[in-house]
A = this chain, B = another copy of it.
Amino acid sequence: MKKVGVAILGLGVVGGGTYQILTQNREFYQKTQDVDIVVESVLELNRERALSLGVPAEKIMTNIAEVVCNPDVNIVVEVIGGIDAAKEYVLAALNAGKTVVTSNKELFCKYSHELERAAKRQNAGLYFEASCVGGVPIIRTLLDGLQANHITSMMGIINGTTNYILTKMSNEGMTYEDALKEAQRLGYAEANPTADVEGFDAAYKLSILSSLAFHTKVPFSKVFREGITQITQEAIADGKQLGYCLKLLAIGKQTDAGIEVRVHPTFVRKDHPLAAVNDSFNAVYLHGDAVDDVMLYGRGAGALPTGSAIVSDIIYAATHSESRYSTFKNTANADKSVNFPSDFSSAYYLRLSVTDRTGVLAKITNIFGKNNISIVEMQQKILDGDKAAVTFITHESRELAIRDAVSKINALEFASVDSVLRVVS
């Protein structure tokens, strides 16, 4: 039976989960995969943590050189996160001819070209299933399951923290602040939640997934990004009444104008499969020219689900003789021939505060008309005194036309725009 030695760099949440799966399931993999996967070493400065997970003392290393020079190590698992040390260690491992399995979305998003070059030079493998959507095998699916297809669009709920917060706001009427606190208490959100709530995490993943789906480098810098910190309970309540759930969607589209990539809170129709993706669950909804619509749903984070992705990559690497790389032109920047339009088309929800004066509504609808924005639905709710809240759902409109209309409405004396959200039906 083939024996494969693994080193794990970093025994945090995911590293710990990976160690647990590999040790508990070792016999299972011998039986079902005909491969003996042995953890040969871990790189972890916190010796107590490693010992408490059951790592034998002699396998705990504190120096990357000890790991990459160990001839018994074939596969190096990087679960440190961030860029600096992670990048240095991954390159050291690849340069030493070790296959690398990583969960590091930021690293892979920003430096996949550099890592892949190093890997190919040494004929080493480079696997990154765990970098996107936790245990959901979306990358394997894009590379080996749906590769017959021109993927034309992709919509994903690919950040569990924000989905948890939005679910709480929607189902329990919590404010954004309270839902965030609850998420932090449960360990779903970090003390500094910026990477999640401002959409950076989702944008890294979208950059990776859309590069694979569209077979060309889609750099992080091309991803339009809007977070959920400005979401109000009023907007969520309006959406519910109109038949929508609010989700932070990562959207990638191949259109005649080029590749659209954007992360923003979005109203999704209640009967769309993505609307039922709640709490910390994630999902990716794809459309391919042959397969039509496909959705993958599961846990987007967590020690064991992310460990599942890492260990599946390890087994894949151990049981296939050639390494599998990305199937796009893996460069630092986008291909010059590919366009990333800054304008795009969507339906919109707008919520306005209006003072009840003659002609105000006429002025607003006049602005919409001049911007080629046509209205599907309008609701007016009288608030205190002469104030009213007016909500609009538009037909497909251009993003830049909406922004122009919003700034013109905000310039009116008796109206202001409280919320603008994109709508997917």
A residues whose Cβ falls under 8 Å from a Cβ of B: 17, 21, 25, 28-29, 31-33, 129, 135-137, 140-141, 144-150, 215, 271, 273, 276, 288-299, 302, 304-305, 307-312, 314-316, 320-322, 327-328
Contacts and interface: CB of A to CB of B under 8 A. Distances in A.
A289 B304 CA distance: 8
Contacts of A215: 31-32
Q: Which of A25, A150, A292, A311 has the most CB of B within 10 A?
A: A292
Contacts of A328: 32
A96 B294 CA distance: 36
A306 to B, nearest CB: 9
Given A135-B290, A148-B308, 20 more contacts: A25-B290, A32-B215, A129-B145, A136-B294, A140-B140, A145-B312, A148-B310, A148-B314, A273-B297, A291-B304, A291-B308, A292-B298, A292-B304, A293-B298, A294-B296, A295-B297, A296-B296, A296-B297, A297-B297, A321-B321
A294 B135 contact: yes
A327 B148 CA distance: 24
Nearest to A142: B137
A147 B273 contact: no
Contacts of A292: 135, 298-299, 302, 304-305
Contacts of A147: 32-33, 312, 315-316
A17 to B, nearest CB: 8
B137 A145 contact: yes
Nearest to A139: B145
B304 A21 contact: no
A312 B146 contact: yes
A305 B287 CA distance: 11
Q: Which of A146, A291, A299, A302 has the most CB of B within 10 A?
A: A291
27 contacts: A25-B289, A29-B148, A32-B215, A135-B290, A135-B292, A137-B145, A137-B294, A140-B144, A141-B145, A144-B144, A144-B316, A145-B145, A148-B307, A148-B310, A148-B311, A148-B312, A273-B276, A276-B276, A290-B307, A291-B298, A291-B308, A292-B302, A292-B304, A293-B298, A295-B297, A295-B298, A296-B296
Nearest 10 interchain pairs by C-beta = A137-B145, A148-B311, A135-B291, A290-B308, A294-B298, A291-B308, A295-B297, A140-B145, A148-B312, A290-B304
Contacts of A293: 298-299
A378 to B, nearest CB: 29
A302 to B, nearest CB: 7
Nearest to A215: B32
Contacts of A140: 140-141, 144-145
A399 to B, nearest CB: 29
A293 B280 CA distance: 12
